[in-house]
Amino acid sequence: MKWKYKSLGVVLCVVPVSGHVVRHFDPPACERCAGHRGVTMKTNAGETVVATANGVVEFAGSVGGRLYVVQRVSPMVRVTYGWMSSISATEGVTVGAGEVIGVAADTTYLSVRIGEIHVEPLRALGLGRARLVPTE
């Protein structure tokens, strides 16, 4: 199934943390195949990470020794913020766009899922632009 990025039903999206992308979205060929299901950004350690949109925190904790926050921003859309040095978000609490959810480490991870399908997060949130890449 192909997804279009015209609207996720998210009213306001803000940049969660300043930085530049050091690893781009690389969708896997299948559900369990290798890939990079989000983007990794080079960030300044100690800078605050904010919610991109209004939504409820569904998870805030450690996975594999790394700190993550998962936020549901609409019924079918979840945003994951990861690899932070600390988190301040609490599960079950609604956070608004621009509210602090944690503190960045030297890299920060961002992903977006529509249902169970990962999509290019910067485009999905309206924070990036399409770019052409060679196919050969």
Task: Tell me, yes or no, whether 134 lies in a domain.
Answer: no
pLDDT at res. 6: 41
Considering its fold, how many domains does the chain have in total? Answer: 1
Q: Any bridge partners for residue 62, and if so which?
A: 67
Task: Tell me, yes or no, whether 13 lies in a domain.
Answer: no
- Domain limits at 87? 20-124
Task: Tell me, yes or no, whether 6 lies in a domain.
Answer: no
Residue length of the chain? 136
Compute the distance between CA of residue 105 and CA of residue 109 in angstroms, rounded to an integer. 10
pLDDT tens over the chain, length 136 residues? 333 334 455 445 788 999 999 999 998 888 888 989 999 999 999 999 999 999 999 999 999 999 999 999 999 999 999 999 999 999 999 999 999 999 999 999 999 999 989 998 888 887 765 544 445 5
Task: Tell me, yes or no, whether 10 lies in a domain.
Answer: no
CATH of the domain at 46: 2.70.70.10
Compute the distance between CA of residue 68 and CA of residue 86 in angstroms, rounded to an integer. 9
Q: Record the tokens describing residue 103, joined without a space.
A: 């503190």
pLDDT at res. 17: 93
Contact in structure between 48 and 14 (CB atoms under 8 Å): no
Contact in structure between 69 and 80 (CB atoms under 8 Å): yes
Task: Tell me, yes or no, whether 69 lies in a domain.
Answer: yes
